[in-house]
């Protein structure tokens, strides 16, 4: 059953229809006011979607415009505004997280009213682009979350305070981290959870999930028994986050099988943020980072020791870095990337990204393209493919590199961790944190000036890269060649016009 159209959208549809019929009759607002007996200001408010007239006033307008009453109150806007009509009837506007960015739904509806035909054409163009690039609703919602994180430098004081309040209440502030068994006991005793470790053998399709939540009267949480203990602890920390932060709308699985609303996406983020904050409390984290940054030379061991101290995974640790570095160290020009690769395969999939800067390189490219083999992320995954899996599971590979993006002045200090995936022994994962090389980095991180850190010129993908004689090239620079050819044509045209305009 379809949802009823919200009142705000009914006002918008009626206002658009009224303006549409008024303009077809070539009437001004004042002329329609005179013929209908209503004031021009009232008609203007209706057309802007701010008022919905009563039945007698609708009848007066319909008579003045020579339109049937039923046609005036229908939800159809005609072929030209069909996409706009569908949008308003679907209530999709109210599912968009506009309020996170300081925008009211009424503001957007107001823009529609200024030129509905152009707005509808723009909407149709965006929908066509989305279809061509297979952009689904979940892609949009997850992109909206990333924008929200970037807008706030990925730091949320209210979540940090909630985590600290929890730790203080349990007298756990001085613990390096909270062991899995203590979190398990807490959920069982305080929140009546039943925690069940399972391999999901009876349903192999579910073996890729870290956890599955069953919302019964006494909640059941199934945790994949193939996870490392620190990964299980993070799952339980997230469950505590849902409860302590009173987040009702949620996904049932650890990774997305279907995104139903932005609230699900946002609540999952908040609960995950809470989990990281209780497992790595910010005060201890900041102090250890400061000690690490005070070192004059790069050494990976203290970083690995820090991960061991918090008994966490490289990915959770790096996520925490993206929250702490901007707020406490001013390092807000950074990116986070996660790549997956099947050993022996030349395909490297970017599965997660976050950019806390206006500089969006490197970023996701077309799946058919080959990411630059000079990135430390790719070279570390190639190295991992030749490493004993048992050894790599015990301790991740780690490396550092200065990456200078070809044709720009942008240079990042990149730190990468690579290791096999816990739930897929045939796949490897690499996490990279990139910090823009600027004065803030040089002042705050002593080892950023270490001359022993190698520097490499990198690009987005082989197809986009004009670097000559690249020994690591995995594909011809077809996109780069097309771009260069286009520039030559534009230059030739400009020269031709100048020659013949004299």
pLDDT digits (tens), the chain, 502 positions: 445 666 777 777 788 778 878 888 889 989 999 999 989 899 888 887 788 888 888 898 989 888 888 888 777 666 555 555 555 555 555 556 666 666 665 566 556 656 665 665 555 555 555 555 455 666 667 777 888 888 889 999 999 999 999 999 999 999 999 999 999 999 999 999 999 999 888 888 888 889 999 999 899 999 999 899 999 999 999 999 999 999 999 988 887 777 777 888 889 999 999 999 999 999 999 999 999 999 999 999 999 999 999 999 999 999 999 999 999 999 999 999 999 999 888 889 988 888 886 655 677 778 888 999 999 999 999 999 887 655 555 689 999 999 999 988 889 999 999 999 887 777 899 999 999 999 999 999 999 999 999 999 999 999 999 998 899 999 999 999 999 999 999 999 999 999 988 6
The string of DSSP codes covering 330-390 is ---SEEEEEEEE-TT---EEEEEEEEESS---S----TTS-B-TTSHHHHHHHHHHTS-HH
| Burial call 451-462: b when 16+ CB within 10 Å, e when fewer | eebeeebbbbbb
CA distances from residue 462 to 236, 364, 488 in whole angstroms, order as listed: 42, 13, 21
The pLDDT of residue 304 is: 95
Q: Which two tokens stand for residue 263?
A: 């609230």
| Burial call 399-438: b when 16+ CB within 10 Å, e when fewer | bbbbbbbbeeebbbbbbbbbbbeebeeeebbbbbbbbbbe
The string of DSSP codes covering 27-66 is --HHHHHHHHTS-HHHHHHHHTTS----HHHHHHHHHHHT
> Which has the closest alpha carbon to 448: 460, 440, 456?
440
* β-bridge partners, 401: 414
DSSP conformation class of 450: -
First to last CA, the chain: 69
Strand 455-458 to strand 424-436: parallel, antiparallel, or no bridges (unpaired)?
unpaired
The pLDDT of residue 138 is: 65
CA-CA distance, 400 to 476, in Å (whole number)?
Answer: 28
Structural domains of the chain, ranges and CATH numbers in brackets: 7-135 (1.10.260.40), 150-279 (1.10.10.2910), 304-485 (no CATH)
The pLDDT of residue 355 is: 86
The pLDDT of residue 306 is: 96
């Amino acid at each position: 059953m379809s949802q009823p159209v919200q009142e705000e959208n009914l006002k918008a549809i009626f206002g658009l229809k009224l303006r549409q019929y008024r303009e077809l009759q070539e009437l001004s607002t004042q002329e329609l006011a005179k013929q209908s007996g209503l004031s021009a200001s009232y008609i203007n408010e209706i057309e802007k979607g701010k008022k919905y007239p009563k039945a007698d006033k609708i009848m007066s307008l319909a008579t003045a415009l020579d339109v049937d009453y039923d046609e005036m109150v229908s939800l159809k806007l005609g072929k030209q505004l069909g996409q706009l009509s569908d949008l308003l009837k679907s209530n999709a506007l109210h599912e968009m997280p506009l309020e996170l960015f300081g925008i009211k739904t009424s503001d957007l509806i107001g823009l529609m009213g200024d030129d509905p035909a152009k707005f509808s054409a723009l909407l149709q163009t965006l929908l066509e682009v989305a279809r061509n690039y297979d952009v689904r609703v979940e892609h949009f919602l997850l992109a909206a979350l990333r924008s929200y994180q970037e807008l706030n430098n990925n730091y949320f004081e209210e979540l940090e305070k909630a985590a600290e309040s929890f730790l203080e209440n349990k007298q756990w502030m001085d613990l390096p981290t909270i062991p899995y068994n203590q979190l398990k006991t807490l959920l069982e005793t305080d929140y009546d959870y039943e925690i069940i470790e399972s391999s999901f053998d009876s349903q192999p399709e579910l073996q890729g999930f870290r956890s599955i939540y069953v919302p019964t009267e006494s909640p059941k949480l199934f945790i994949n028994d193939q996870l490392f203990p620190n990964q299980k602890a993070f799952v339980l920390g997230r469950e505590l986050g849902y409860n302590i932060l009173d987040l009702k709308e949620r996904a049932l699985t650890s990774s997305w099988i279907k995104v139903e609303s932005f609230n699900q996406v946002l609540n999952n983020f908040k609960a995950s943020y809470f989990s990281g904050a209780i497992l790595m409390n910010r005060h201890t984290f900041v102090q250890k980072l400061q000690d690490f940054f005070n070192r004059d030379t790069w050494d990976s061991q203290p970083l690995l020791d820090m991960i061991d101290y918090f008994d966490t995974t490289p990915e959770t640790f790096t996520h925490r870095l993206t929250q702490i570095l901007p707020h406490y160290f001013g390092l807000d020009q950074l990116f986070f990337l996660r790549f997956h690769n099947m050993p022996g395969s030349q395909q490297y999939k970017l599965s997660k990204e976050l950019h806390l800067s206006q500089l969006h390189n490197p970023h996701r490219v077309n799946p058919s393209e080959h990411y630059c083999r000079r990135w430390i992320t790719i070279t570390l995954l190639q190295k991992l493919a030749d490493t004993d899996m048992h050894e790599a599971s015990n301790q991740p590979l780690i490396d550092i590199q200065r990456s200078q993006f070809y044709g720009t002045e942008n240079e990042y200090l990149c730190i990468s961790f690579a290791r096999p995936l816990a739930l897929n022994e045939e796949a490897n994962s690499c996490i990279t944190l990139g910090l823009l090389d600027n004065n803030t980095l040089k002042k705050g991180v002593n080892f950023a000036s270490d001359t022993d850190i190698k520097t490499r010129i990198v690009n987005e993908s082989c197809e986009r890269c004009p670097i000559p004689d690249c020994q690591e090239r995995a594909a011809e620079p077809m996109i780069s060649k097309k771009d260069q050819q286009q520039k030559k044509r534009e230059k030739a045209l400009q020269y031709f016009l100048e020659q013949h305009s004299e």
